[in-house]
């Protein structure tokens, strides 16, 4: 049998024969279009790997009752951290493209019309798989497939289909809601740290666990006069409406994990939540670098894909986050020494397995 050859194994011929600049015939008259094509292809390859990892993570989560102490949980964290490292790398790649100047880009910009990174199917799938919904996107009208420069009908359909499957965010919410740390059995010997009805009326306290009443009280004491309004927000977020599309029970679990992250059972869950915030941050770093680069390249001109260009990209920057509500749980943290002391029964339980 013939030995496997390197270039056959990675199908190098296909990859290396896929760069066809449209603005020049020969290398001598060449401009930066070659760089422009290669950098987009490299991005798309990394997007492919990110999607691969995200699909695996979603697959693991789809199982009911994923164990917080299990191999699965550490695999999930490991894969998400890998996505983080890839995002770091592709952030740095912007610097390579920035060696091209605005006049260099103008040499060939017109040959791409109306193609644009806006049409990157894989980028849209990453956003959708993480949990960004169409209605949360900035300028949804740009996505109409009938608009010149927008996604093709089949790409848009795929994005819509992906949104309707379990997104990572939805799976994380379900997992958080399942956390059994407030089961009554663990709390029999809990010692209240605040007078029972000091701050919460009888009606308010009906559905609230004694732990949360104590925590609310400690949070209230931590607020300065200028921040007093946050207490109302605390009630809204954790007991009434939740935030965005995340229900109160999931946000309570995220806060609980964050408060007691030093307990062994919460190490991995905390790492997981932290990595989700990191992914959001790295993606928005990319959006920012891309936006700044675009401003340098084309100033305030419209994009090849027909959006307003830099103005549009700046809008996505403040709006396109998948895990914003989880990250913003930090608003409701208190100092470590002020945390309610957990009952022993719970501490023992969470030292091993929940």
What's the rounded Cα separation, in Å, for the pair 347 and 354? Answer: 10
Query: Smallest gap, in angstroms, from Cβ of residue 296 to ligand HEM?
Result: 9
**Tokens 């603005």 found at:** 23
The number of CA neighbours under 13 Å toward the Cβ of 224 is: 1
Q: Encoding tokens for residue 35?
A: 């760089």
Binding residue count for ligand HEM, defined by CB under 6 A: 24
Work out whether 297 is an interface residue with ligand HEM (CB under 6 A): yes
Q: How far is the CB of 56 from ligand HEM (least distance, A)?
A: 22
- Closest to ligand HEM by CB, 238 vs 312, is 312
Q: What is the DSSP letter of 336?
A: G
| Least spacing, CB of residue 308 vs ligand HEM, in Å | 7
With tokens 């549009």, the residue in question is 312
- Binding flags for ligand HEM, 8-27, as an x/- string (CB under 6 A): --------------------
Of the residues 73, 77, 97, 350, which one makes contact with ligand HEM according to CB under 6 A: 97
Using CB under 6 A, pick the residue from 194, 274, 307, 327 that binds ligand HEM.
Answer: 307
**Distant-in-sequence, close-in-space partners of 237: CB < 8 Å, separation ≥ 6:** 243, 248, 251, 332
| Shortest separation between residue 286's beta carbon and ligand HEM, angstroms | 9
Residue 315 within binding range of ligand HEM, rule CB under 6 A? no
DSSP-H helix ranges across the chain: 6-9, 12-16, 33-62, 71-97, 102-106, 121-130, 153-164, 168-177, 202-205, 210-222, 230-235, 248-259, 264-298, 310-319, 324-327, 344-352
Residue 114, preceding bond cis, omega within 30 degrees? yes
Residue from 150, 274, 316, 327 binding ligand HEM (CB under 6 A): 316
| Residue with smaller CB distance to ligand HEM, 181 or 312 | 312
CA 115 to chain centroid, in Å, comes to: 26
* 35-94 residues near ligand HEM, rule: CB under 6 A: 39-40, 43
Whichever of 105 and 187 has its CB closer to ligand HEM, that residue is 105
| Residue nearer to ligand HEM on the CB measure, 84 or 149 | 149
Candidates 61, 304, 321, 327: give the one binding ligand HEM (CB under 6 A). Answer: 304
| Residues in contact with ligand HEM by the rule CB under 6 A | 39-40, 43, 97, 105, 116-118, 120, 123, 290, 293-294, 297-298, 303-307, 309, 312-313, 316
């Amino acid at each position: 049998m013939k030995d496997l050859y390197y270039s056959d194994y990675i199908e190098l011929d296909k990859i290396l024969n896929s760069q066809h600049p449209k603005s020049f015939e020969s290398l001598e008259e060449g401009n930066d279009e070659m760089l422009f094509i290669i950098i987009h292809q490299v991005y798309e390859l990394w997007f492919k790997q990110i999607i691969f990892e995200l699909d695996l993570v979603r697959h693991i989560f789809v199982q009911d009752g994923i164990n917080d102490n299990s191999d699965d949980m550490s695999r999930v964290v490991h894969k998400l951290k890998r996505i983080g490292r890839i995002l770091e790398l592709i952030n740095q790649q912007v610097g390579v493209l920035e060696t091209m100047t605005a006049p260099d880009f103008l040499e060939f910009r017109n040959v791409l019309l109306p193609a644009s990174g806006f049409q990157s199917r894989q980028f849209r799938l990453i956003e959708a798989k993480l949990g960004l919904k169409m209605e949360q996107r900035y300028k949804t009208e740009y996505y109409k497939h009938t608009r010149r420069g927008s996604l093709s009908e089949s790409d848009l359909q795929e994005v819509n289909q992906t949104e309707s499957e379990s997104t990572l965010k939805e799976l994380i919410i379900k997992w958080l809601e399942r956390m059994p740390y407030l089961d009554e059995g663990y709390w029999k010997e809990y010692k209240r740290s605040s007078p029972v009805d000091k701050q919460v009326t009888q009606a308010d306290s009906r559905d609230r666990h004694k732990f949360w009443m104590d925590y609310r009280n400690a949070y209230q004491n931590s607020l300065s006069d200028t921040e007093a309004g946050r207490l109302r927000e605390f009630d809204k977020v954790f007991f009434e409406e939740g935030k965005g599309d995340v229900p109160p029970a999931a946000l309570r679990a995220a806060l609980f994990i964050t408060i007691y992250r030093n307990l062994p059972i919460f190490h991995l869950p905390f790492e997981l939540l932290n990595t989700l915030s990191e992914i959001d941050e790295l993606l928005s770093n990319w959006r920012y670098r891309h936006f700044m680069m675009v401003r340098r390249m084309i100033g305030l001109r419209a994009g090849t894909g027909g959006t307003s260009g830099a103005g549009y990209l700046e809008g996505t920057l403040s709006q396109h986050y998948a895990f914003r509500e989880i990250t913003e749980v930090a608003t409701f943290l208190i100092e470590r020494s002020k945390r309610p002391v957990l009952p022993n029964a719970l501490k023992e339980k969470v030292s091993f397995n929940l």
